[in-house]
Amino acid sequence: MSPETERTAIDVVIVNWNTAEAAIEAADVYLRSDAVEARVTVIDNASQQEQRRLLEEGCPEEARLVLHEENLGYGRAANLALGDGTAELVCVSNADVLPEPRALATLAAVAQKEPRAGMVGPAFGGKTDRYHSRLPTEIAMLGRIFAGSFARGPVPPPAPGEVKAVGQPSGACFMMHRDTWELMQGFDDGFFLWYEDVDLAKRLHDEGYRNLVVGSARVGHPGASSFVQIERPRLRAIRLVSVERYIHKHHPRLSTITPLLLGLSKRLRATAPMTPESRPGVRGG
């Protein structure tokens, strides 16, 4: 058997919304990953026509391009793109993530060595490493009705060669065993944006899986390339919907007080109405 046929296959999905140039670059970099076979799909969440033309003209031929006519949100888009894959491992990525050449191979080695691996994330470097954090407590979730970063417990990034167990690896880039991904049914489609990754990490944790961050697997990730296109009131409205869903799923005893606090938060911060065209379909970090 040749070295080529021995390479680990990984189904990589890049979720895009109006960041075509970044998605094209990410697809190219993922395809050139060392020591693995990266099977890349770029799925677009109903971007503007000019952005879709850029994808059609510039997306690498080796990548599969899916242009969806509806803005599915981050989780649903990733679920759809990975639904017909066959690789042993899957990787979900923002469009503005650029892995170093051996990042996928390093993540794969850790995932394959750990039979109870859940989400296996890279080290981002810089400010976006703060998105690896502890799972939020009940008190934290109540506070996040008013402030999205309330009691966020960022985890210091592991050093090269170190693998650290964390509650919640960032959803901007992570790897999983396909059988585990399918057992968990991927992301919960009910989260349009925000907390789909926290929900997945929580469900994995509750089933006894270990969520990990790998210090030697490094990716670049400036973050927020889609969020900056959206007005802040609309972003807050989307976030509150996700906060409410997460509390309902994982902290049900707070369900009686949550509507009251949500109402107060909305009065304190008047929100603008959302339209399908205004809703971002990727994560900001």
Give me the count of residues in the chain.
285
Q: Assess whether pLDDT exceeds 60 at residue 214.
A: yes
Can you spell out the DSSP letters for 106-118?
HHHHHHHH-TTEE
**C-beta neighbour count of 113 within 10 angstroms:** 9
Q: Is 129 helix (H, G, I), strand (E, B) or coil?
A: helix
* 154 vs 119, more confident: 119
Q: How far apart are CA 233 and CA 28, in angstroms?
A: 35
The average confidence (pLDDT) of the chain is 89
Tokens of 54: 């850029």
Q: Beta strand pairing status for 210-220 and 98-99?
A: antiparallel
Residue 230 confidence (pLDDT): 66
Of the pLDDT bands very low, low, confident and very high (cuts 50, 70, 90), residue 130 is low
Q: Is 265 helix (H, G, I), strand (E, B) or coil?
A: helix
Are the CB atoms for 59 and 47 separated by under 8 Å? no
Mean pLDDT of 10-14: 98
Residue 275 confidence (pLDDT): 47
Tell me the backbone φ, ψ of residue 75, rounded to 5 degrees.
-65, -45
